[in-house]
Chain A
Amino acid sequence: MAVHRTYEEINDKIKSGKVVVVTAEEMVAMGMRDGAAAAAKKVDVVTTATFGPMCSSGAFLNFGHTEPPIRMTRVWLNDVPAYAGIAAVDCYIGATEESETQGQRYGGAHVLQDLVEGRTIRLRATSPGTDCYPRRSHETEVTLAGLRDATLFNPRNCYQNYGAAANTTDSVLYTYMGTLLPRLGNVSYSTSGQLSPMLKDPTYRTIGIGTRVYLGGGEGYVAWEGTQHNPEQERSAGGVPVGGAGTLALIGDLKTMKPGYLRAATFHRYGVTLYVAIGVAIPVLDEDVAAAAARPETELYTAILDYGVPSRNRPALRRVSYAELRSGSVDIDGTEVRTSPVSSYRMARRIAAELKDMIAAGGFSLTRPVRPLRGAATGTGDVPGLAAAAAPGGAI
């Protein structure tokens, strides 16, 4: 008999402690052992996670009004400029913004990490002064607990898939995909593969606007499609994209987030970025959802792109499965090339396990999307033609 579950049924099971929840890694193993259909019968929820560098991240901060008040037009946090072109004491601190005094060694991502870890941040603000906001400068120390509001808002996280990187030139390249040795010295990749949220719900059956997520160790939500969301990407069996495709804009209260789950990093000669911990729970609504969540890394593909070509359209050297990438080496034109990730599988696994434990303990219920992501499949059982992708707004 075909499996059909509703969000309400799953949430009732979460509430009563009867929910069966596994991580995507465990789901893959179950699928291999018993088949996806059998796994679909048993499992209510599959948890997925990722912990990778996500440059398109940052936070809206509100400092509360000073006496006399100031309309901050320029803001620095530990000498890192924040965007202050919004209301009087609001700003947006972006992850990749660099310190004016320390350069790439300290940036917006470090400010965010320091805030979450309870450290004090030096706030400096200037203003031309107005009749209603007479003050012209303000300097003080702030902490996360003392901020009026702190909302993490990441315009693009959770890339559904991402090209792996290599370098065919004769010199070392320092990129956001890490150090790429010359003449195909290594290949770098950046997804959590079989644990990756959007690879495990490839046609956006369950992840949509309004989906509650485990963000930075706290509570977050999918706010919108992420910037550059591209459901039209070429897809392999089951509708799994073979390169960068869907993305998520995520929002959450920075004050609920935990140390270790937002980590600043600097890629040499590239700059500052933020490692963001994201966990997403997939409700097993039917066998199609289960099959996608159980898909192993031998069936998840990406392309190895040549970062030696300084173009928006970098040429692909070959298509490769995540199983091959994770094995430690891949064959490119007869040469064994070493592979390594830039996103932490150990952390992804931990995040997926924590989300699983929270769901099993009744502390995290699932949300039906308020609106599907653009390009979402309808759930009629078809492998998506993704016809809806052509119509912006999808199934509003």
Chain B
Amino acid sequence: MARTRVVLNFPAALVEKPVTYHLVRDFGLVVNILRAEIRPGEAGTLLFELDDRDGQGDLQGGLEFVAREGVRIQTISGRITIDQDACLDCGACIGPCFAGALALDPTSYKLLFDDTRCVLCKVCVEACPAGAIKVAF
């Protein structure tokens, strides 16, 4: 795994800890913060893209370090739900998804979601006429 996207949930006490600095210096990772919501003194949420530069960095070690620090790690898929019964497979969510995470399967025309592209921006939540998409961030 060379690249991954994770959501980090910081408890209030850890919000001011320089986690990014350690991931870069100690684990050799390229860290791209795609989305962040941190209010000092309160809990915070960060969407990170971590890249181990083709094995030069230690991705597994970095994630274990973050977990040891008390930060809860979630996948993108854990943050977004698409209710398959409610979904009409209409496609109204796809155009506004500038991240390119949503598409229709070219054969079945069912909605596909690619969690490696999602930035949890929530534009799809508003765009879905069926109210089928929920995003927590």
Contacts and interface: CB of A to CB of B under 8 A. Distances in A.
The answer to whether A and B belong to the same complex is yes
Interface of A: 51-53, 105, 172, 174, 178-181, 185-188, 263, 265-268, 273, 275, 328, 338-347, 349
B73 interface: no
B33 interface: no
Which residue among B90, B98, B110 has the maximum number of chain A CB atoms within 10 Å of its CB?
B90
Interface size class for chain B? 20 to 34
Given A275-B90, A343-B90, A188 B95 contact: yes
B95 to A, nearest CB: 3
Given A265-B129, A342-B129, A349-B109, A181 B96 contact: yes
A125 to B, nearest CB: 29
Given A179-B123, A328-B103, A349-B109, A273 B129 contact: yes
Interface string B93-137: 111101010011000111000000000000100110111000000
B92 A179 contact: yes
Contacts of A349: 109
A52 B110 CA distance: 15
Contact of A185 (B90, B91, B96, B108): B96
A188 B130 CA distance: 16
Which residue among A51, A52, A345 has the maximum number of chain B CB atoms within 10 Å of its CB?
A345
Contacts, number: 85
A172 B90 CA distance: 20
Contacts of A174: 126
Contacts of B108: 346
Nearest to A341: B91
Contact of B90 (A181, A268, A338, A342): A342
Contacts of A266: 129, 131
A343 B108 CA distance: 15
Contacts of B19: none
A186 B1 CA distance: 32
B113 to A, nearest CB: 14
A347 B87 CA distance: 11
A265 B95 contact: no
B12 interface: no
Contacts of A172: 96
A105 B90 CA distance: 19
21 contacts: A105-B131, A179-B92, A180-B96, A181-B98, A186-B96, A186-B98, A188-B92, A188-B95, A263-B130, A265-B88, A266-B129, A268-B127, A275-B90, A338-B100, A340-B93, A340-B104, A343-B90, A346-B89, A346-B104, A347-B89, A349-B109
A347 B103 CA distance: 16
Contact of B95 (A53, A178, A275, A347): A178
A340 B94 contact: yes
Which residue among B94, B100, B110, B129 has the maximum number of chain A CB atoms within 10 Å of its CB?
B129
A342 B131 contact: no
Contact of B109 (A52, A342, A346): A346
